[in-house]
Structure 1
């Protein structure tokens, strides 16, 4: 007797076929696989380099170290932003050693070569001592593609990459209602981790782990499979909608008291939780109505542009290969893993939080607690040293090292995936095609 396939959880028009490629351990532990990624994957995609708030004036710059590469993005006199490889063409020394800064010229600390903000060499020691004559005006930093979306700056090593907004599709259109352009990055943390970058990418490509890794979320985010909607796009990106302001349908929260913290969330919008005893599931609609009524006077001007779904639900946007935006009406979380320069069993995890500016608000709640509503400086640590990267992120990272250890076992023969983990399967098939230069 043939097994009956479960009903699709994928939105109409947003499902994708998969081949069923084996997902074995080598891609997580092999230096050969890491080298294929370095050669065939990372040079062909767009990378999030920073936020525009760090590039307000001519000469402001951001450095983004990625694997063995280092990129510098610089604000130009005409307001444009250019990106350059962070390497002096003289002898290869890195020009910029800090995360952010501002200078009229980029100056090499080794021999004092100086470059204007547009990457042109403008000063050298002993200019007449070169066989071809003075190199100033003739030598330039190696430039990369650099474009912006909302408050973000992206770069790409691929001169033939699609324009950024086309590559991001459909997210620029899907996110427009949130009004991200002026949001403030209030959290900027990262950590060195002892597992391959793809382990956390797999984690963000499924919700199957929520009941075990994040059980406390179930009282205000509905992680029930029938209520979760998945989308997979032709671009290779994917997304997941989860109902917010509603307890999970995996357990009976409908018949009794409104669970915490959903009761506090409701009360914050003037809703009496006691009035919803036995009908917890409709608090979501009550919050929508309250936000429509009270949002503007509380300073949330962006509510006016949002759909009802955006006002209360969580939109997890997973961009191939290594970037996730988790959207709620009051917060955008950026979650990303990047490869270690030389070790396939290590990576760098990054977590940013952006919030809309609200008049009169001095502090905002984030996954690490209350922080000032102001642009945050970067903080880096090593995972496991006791520095929180956000309470949910800490839980996600908690499985990383033990999974990496298990992937090294002879007993692991390859992933066995459920239908709801189809996005994991598709991610690895896209990865297969790119690292083996099939697309």
Structure 2
């Protein structure tokens, strides 16, 4: 296929049809800059589809909660006394004050700090101070917290404001297979969130959405990280010319980029892969309590899965961490990086996984600062040449169909094309 050389037409919700802003090989720059488009995205995407809100390991016990966001709306994710998971709008039904400001914790319920209306873990209104003023005015059963539709898969909790949203299993589709593979990095233990850090960058949320399955940037943007690690790790992630390093489109905006093909399924091990020398002290300690096969299984999983899985619109399951994006405005985004470990697994392994995470992520890491600088530069460049489109045409001529969807090399922009096809479908209400 020969791509057109004419720029995509500029436009906004009040100008040309939104459908013209996304073409097969390019997208209009207004997708990064237009505040009106951003407001439509909040309504047509974040308020209508499944949005990731938490991992089940963050709320393992009755009364556990964590606060989260669905688009720009704050929510509380709770585990109630019956073990059920609830996602509640973080807004009192009386005068609208936020109920909970703590990022996580354990509680019997939630009480508004303004007038002390109190709610159960499932959102039911259970108490009102001085109720005599509400006689014949209010029935408590009529004023629960707003509950979002909620479902989970592979420990990943999703919520939606849309009561008619398609079943989560249908929305995830083929991505469920990759979610199952991703969780095998627990090496027989459940995967848990060990901690997180967050930061903001001055750019549109879709700039980051593109990044997770963009293998083209990796050896360029992350040169400093590649030069800081041992030769075995650098070689493992030198996938630029590996024919088995591919990107699959998975439908509904989801995509997966395989970087370490031999670690896609961590249960498959022919015994020929040599364990990295840097983990010798871990092998020595684990060997005191575990059989050699389990030691090998744990150590092979230290870097996580051999791929990045992008779940539209807001979460990536990226090798050994979750990356969660939160749109703030057309030109600002918040990112949370969540380190993963083995729930009940050896402490020496979880410590080492944290050190690996910190080496790439965080303000003192070698990866995140370089990524965020690149994202900032894309947004700054968006102010120049408003009629010049963003190109997403790499690998278009070598993209093929297979049983898992469209597939091309890991450096190709197949994942971006999949995400923008979903963006276009949702923004034009054609689903």
TM bucket by the smaller chain? 0.7 to 0.9
Shift of 1:241: 1.2
Q: 1:157 is matched with which residue?
A: 161
Secondary structure, aligned partner of 1:112: coil
Contact 1:128/1:134 (<8 A) preserved = no
1:361 equivalent among 345, 348, 360: 348
Q: 2:292 aligns with which of 283, 291, 294?
A: 294
Unaligned stretches of 5+ residues in structure 1: 5-17, 247-261, 271-292, 372-385
Deviation per residue, 1:313-347 (Å, 9 max, x gap): 612111112321123xxxx311122200xx31001
Counterpart CA distance in 2 for 1:233 and 1:325 is 14
Is 1:334 the counterpart of 2:322 in the alignment?
yes
- How many angstroms does 1:412 deviate by? 6.0
Among residues 246, 249, 260, which one is paired with 1:232 in the alignment? 249
CA shift in 2, pair 1:263/1:59, >3 Å: closer
User: 1:203 offset after TM fit, Å?
Assistant: 1.8
Q: CA deviation at 1:63?
A: 0.9
1:120 is the counterpart of 2:119: no
Closer, same or farther: CA 323–297 of 1 in aligned 2, 3 Å: closer
CA distance in 1 between counterparts of 2:111 and 2:413 reads: 49
Secondary structure of the corresponding residue to residue 194 of structure 2: strand
Q: What is the Cα deviation at residue 155 of structure 1?
A: 1.5
Contact (CA 8 Å) 2:213, 2:247: kept in 1 or not? Answer: no
Does 1:422 pair with 2:414?
yes
Tell me how large the CA RMSD over aligned residues is. 3.4
CA shift in 2, pair 1:53/1:396, >3 Å: same
Q: Taking structure 1 as the reference length, what is the TM-score of the superposition?
A: 0.73
Q: CA separation of 1:297/1:199 partners in 2, compared to 1, >3 Å: closer, same or farther?
A: closer
Q: How does 1:25-174 map to 2 (within 5 A)?
A: 25-130=29-134, 132-174=136-178
Which consecutive unaligned segments of at least 5 residues does structure 2 have?
4-21, 227-232, 264-272, 282-290, 396-411
Contact 1:58–1:76 (CA under 8 A) maintained in structure 2 = yes
In structure 1, the residue matched to 2:15 is none
- Partner in structure 2 of residue 347 of structure 1: 333
Return the offset for 1:93: 1.0
Contact preservation (8 Å) 1:236, 1:427: yes
Give the structure 1 partner of residue 276 of structure 2.
Answer: 265
TM-score by length of 2: 0.74
Give 2:235's match in structure 1, choosing from 215, 219, 228: 219
Question: Deviation per CA, 1:141-169, whole angstroms, max 9, x where unpaired?
Answer: 11111222333322221212233333223
Do 1:406 and 1:412's aligned partners in 2 also have CA atoms closer than 8 Å? no
How far did 1:267 drift? 6.6
Distance of aligned partners of 1:166 and 1:432 in 2 relative to their CA distance in 1, 3 Å threshold: closer
Task: Tell me if structure 2 keeps the 8 A contact 1:220–1:245.
Answer: no
Shift of 1:413: 0.1
Q: 2:245–2:261: 8 Å Cα contact kept in structure 1? A: no
Q: Distance in 2 between matches of 1:421 and 1:123?
A: 54
CA distance in 2, matches of 1:113, 1:3: 63
Q: Single out whichever of 196-205 and 351-360 deviates more from structure 2.
A: 351-360
Q: Residue 27 of structure 1: CA displacement?
A: 0.9
Question: What is residue 378 of structure 2 aligned with on the other side?
Answer: 403
d(CA) in 1 for partners of 2:131, 2:140: 8
Secondary structure in structure 2 of the residue aligned to 1:109: coil
How far off its partner does 1:76 sit? 1.4
Q: How far is the alpha carbon of 1:19 from its aligned partner?
A: 5.1
- The alpha carbon displacement at 1:186 in A equals 2.0
Conserved? CA contact 1:28–1:344, under 8 Å: yes
What is residue 243 of structure 1 aligned with on the other side?
260
SS at match of 1:398: helix
Q: Who is 2:194 aligned against?
A: 186
Distance in 2 of aligned mates of 1:211 and 1:21: 23
